[in-house]
C-alpha cells in the first residue's frame, strides 16, 4: 500500500509540474512575431504578439507588471505587449544611443536592461516608464553583446561575441571587473546560470553548449555537442529540468536532458506555426510565487527544486530544512530559531522562474524535507512545500 501511495503521489506531482509549465513563447525573427506553443506538446497555439512596428524581434522578457517586453532589433526600440492577450501597448524604451537591441532583462533593482549590440553597451531604462537612465556597462573591450544575465552574486555577466569572452561588471555600479571567461568560447551567444550553479553558454560559431564554474569562470565541460546546431541562441529550462534551445538555422526549438545534455526531442518542430529564425524563448509566468516539492524526492541523489511566479530578474533564496520552523518568511522580524540546511541564491529568469539541483544527504532517507522560496527585495515568500525522501 505504501508503494502504491507513493506512485500515486509521484504521478500527481508530475501532473502538477506539467500544468505549471504554461506556454512557450519564441521570437520569430523573419516573420516579426512572437509565437506561442504548448510547452508540453509543442503544439502551435497562435501568434502571441506582433505589430506596433515590431521589426526583427530578438530578446524578450516579462516585466514586474506582468507584461511582455520585446527588443525590436531593426528599429532600435523595446516594445511592450499585454502579458495575457498579447495586445500592443506601445513603445516602452528607445533613445539613449540604443542601436540594434538584442537581449532584454529586468535587473534585481527592477529596472530594464538592454544589450545595445551596435554600440557595445548595456543600457538601463526606468522599469516603470522606460525613461533612459544611462549607459550601465561598457568598456573592457566588450564587442558585440548579444546576451547578458545577472548572477546569483548580483553582478552582471555579458557575452562579447566578437572577442570570445564573457565580461563581468559590478551589478550595482556597472564598473568593469574583468574577463570572467576567456577560453573555450566561439562567439558566445546566450548565457545563463543553470540549475547546478554552473554558467551555460551557447556559441554562434560551433555546435556546443559549454559549462563554466559559476564562481571562478573556469571551463568545466562541453555539456551539449549537437551536429544539428545552427547558430543556436536562446536557452531556458522547464520545471522538469529540461533545457530548451532556440536553433536559428533549422527554425526549431530543441530540448535536452537537464542532467546529461542528451538530446530528447524538438517540441517546436522546424517551421511550426511559421517559425523562422528563432532567437530567444521564455515561458509564460505563474500567477503567484510558488515552490514545488523536490523531485524525485530521493535522498543521496540530485533533486529538482522549481520556483515560479517571482519577479523576473529578482534575486531569490531557496531554503530547505527537516524542520519547517527554520524556514522563516522573507522580511521576518523575529529572531531566527536556527540555520536551515539548504540556503541557495538564485536569479529569476525572464518568466520569473528558477530551477536548482540539490542532493540531500543519504542519511535523510525516510524523513520529511520542507522547502520555501524567498524574494527578499519584495518581502515575498512562497508557501512551504514538503516531501518524504526515500
Q: Which own/partner pairs from 39-42 qualify as long-range (CB within 8 Å, at least 24 positions apart)?
A: 39/238, 39/267, 39/283, 40/267, 41/267, 42/253, 42/266, 42/267, 42/268, 42/269, 42/272
For residue 104, the model assigns a pLDDT of 98
pLDDT in tens, 184-239: 999 999 999 999 999 999 999 999 999 999 999 999 999 999 999 999 999 999 99
Query: How would DSSP label each residue in 289-332?
Result: -EEPPPBS--TTS-EEEEEESPPTT-EEEEEEESSGGG-PPTT-
pLDDT in tens, 8-43: 334 334 444 444 568 999 999 999 999 999 988 999
- Residue-level pLDDT, tens digit, the chain, 390 residues: 323 233 333 433 444 444 456 899 999 999 999 999 998 899 999 999 999 999 999 999 999 999 999 999 999 999 999 999 999 999 999 999 999 999 999 999 999 999 999 999 999 999 999 999 999 999 999 999 999 999 999 999 999 999 999 999 999 999 999 999 999 999 999 999 999 999 999 999 999 999 999 999 999 999 999 999 999 999 999 999 999 999 999 999 999 999 999 999 999 999 999 999 999 999 999 999 999 999 999 999 999 999 999 999 999 999 999 999 899 898 876 655 678 889 999 999 999 999 999 999 899 899 999 999 999 999 999 999 999 999
In CATH, the number for domain 22-283 is: 2.130.10.10
For the chain, the structural domain boundaries read 2-12+288-388, 22-283
For residue 224, the model assigns a pLDDT of 98
For residue 22, the model assigns a pLDDT of 81
For residue 356, the model assigns a pLDDT of 96
Element (H, E) at 252: strand 252-256
> First CA to last CA across the chain, in angstroms?
15
Q: How many Cβ atoms are within 10 Å of 90's Cβ, its own excluded?
A: 10
Q: What sign for the dihedral angle of Cα 197, 202, 203, 208?
A: positive
For residue 328, the model assigns a pLDDT of 87
> Which class does domain 2-12+288-388 fall in?
mainly beta
For residue 17, the model assigns a pLDDT of 44
Whether the domain at 2-12+288-388 and the domain at 22-283 fall into the same CATH topology: no
Peptide bond between residue 296 and the one before it cis (omega within 30 degrees of 0): yes
For residue 21, the model assigns a pLDDT of 62
- The helix, strand and coil proportions of the chain, stated in percent and rounded to the nearest 5, come to 10, 45, 45
Whole-model pTM: value is 0.93
Which residue, among 184, 180, 265, has the nearest Cα to 223 in the 3D structure? 184
Amino acid at each position: 500500500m505504501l508503494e502504491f501511495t507513493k506512485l500515486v503521489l509521484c504521478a500527481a506531482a508530475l501532473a502538477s509540474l506539467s500544468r505549471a509549465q504554461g506556454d512557450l513563447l519564441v521570437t520569430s525573427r523573419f516573420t516579426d512575431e512572437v509565437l506561442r506553443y504548448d510547452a508540453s506538446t509543442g503544439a502551435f497555439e497562435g501568434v502571441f504578439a506582433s505589430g506596433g512596428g515590431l521589426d526583427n524581434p530578438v530578446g524578450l522578457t516579462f516585466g514586474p507588471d506582468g507584461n511582455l517586453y520585446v527588443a525590436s532589433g531593426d528599429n532600435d526600440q523595446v516594445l511592450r505587449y499585454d502579458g495575457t492577450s498579447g495586445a500592443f501597448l506601445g513603445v516602452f524604451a528607445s533613445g539613449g544611443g540604443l542601436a540594434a537591441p538584442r537581449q532584454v532583462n529586468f535587473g534585481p533593482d527592477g529596472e530594464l536592461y538592454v544589450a545595445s549590440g551596435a554600440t557595445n553597451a548595456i543600457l538601463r531604462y526606468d522599469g516603470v516608464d522606460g525613461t533612459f537612465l544611462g549607459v550601465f556597462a561598457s568598456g573592457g573591450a566588450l564587442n558585440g553583446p548579444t546576451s547578458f544575465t545577472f548572477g546569483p552574486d548580483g553582478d552582471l555577466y555579458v557575452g562579447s561575441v566578437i572577442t570570445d569572452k564573457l565580461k563581468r561588471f559590478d551589478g550595482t555600479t556597472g564598473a568593469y571587473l574583468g574577463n570572467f571567461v576567456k577560453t573555450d568560447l566561439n562567439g558566445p551567444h546566450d548565457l545563463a546560470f543553470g540549475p547546478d550553479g554552473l554558467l551555460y553558454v551557447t556559441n554562434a560559431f560551433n555546435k556546443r553548449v559549454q559549462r563554466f564554474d559559476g564562481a571562478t569562470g573556469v571551463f568545466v565541460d562541453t555539456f551539449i555537442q549537437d551536429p544539428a546546431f545552427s547558430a543556436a541562441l536562446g536557452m531556458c529550462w522547464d520545471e522538469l529540468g529540461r533545457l530548451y534551445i532556440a536553433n536559428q538555422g533549422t527554425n526549431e526549438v530543441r530540448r535536452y536532458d537537464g542532467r546529461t545534455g542528451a538530446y530528447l526531442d524538438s517540441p517546436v518542430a522546424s517551421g511550426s506555426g511559421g517559425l523562422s529564425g528563432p532567437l530567444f524563448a521564455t515561458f509564460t509566468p505563474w500567477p503567484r510565487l510558488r515552490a514545488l516539492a523536490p523531485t524525485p524526492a530521493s535522498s543521496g541523489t540530485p533533486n529538482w527544486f522549481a520556483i515560479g511566479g517571482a519577479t523576473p530578474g529578482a534575486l531569490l533564496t531557496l531554503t530547505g530544512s527537516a524542520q519547517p520552523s527554520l524556514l522563516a518568511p522573507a522580511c521576518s522580524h523575529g529572531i531566527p530559531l536556527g540555520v536551515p540546511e539548504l540556503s541557495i541564491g538564485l536569479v529569476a529568469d525572464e518568466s520569473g522562474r528558477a530551477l536548482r539541483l540539490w542532493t540531500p544527504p543519504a542519511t535523510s532517507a525516510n524523513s520529511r524535507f520542507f522547502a520555501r522560496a524567498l524574494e527578499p527585495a519584495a518581502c515575498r515568500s512562497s508557501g512551504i512545500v514538503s516531501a518524504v525522501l526515500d
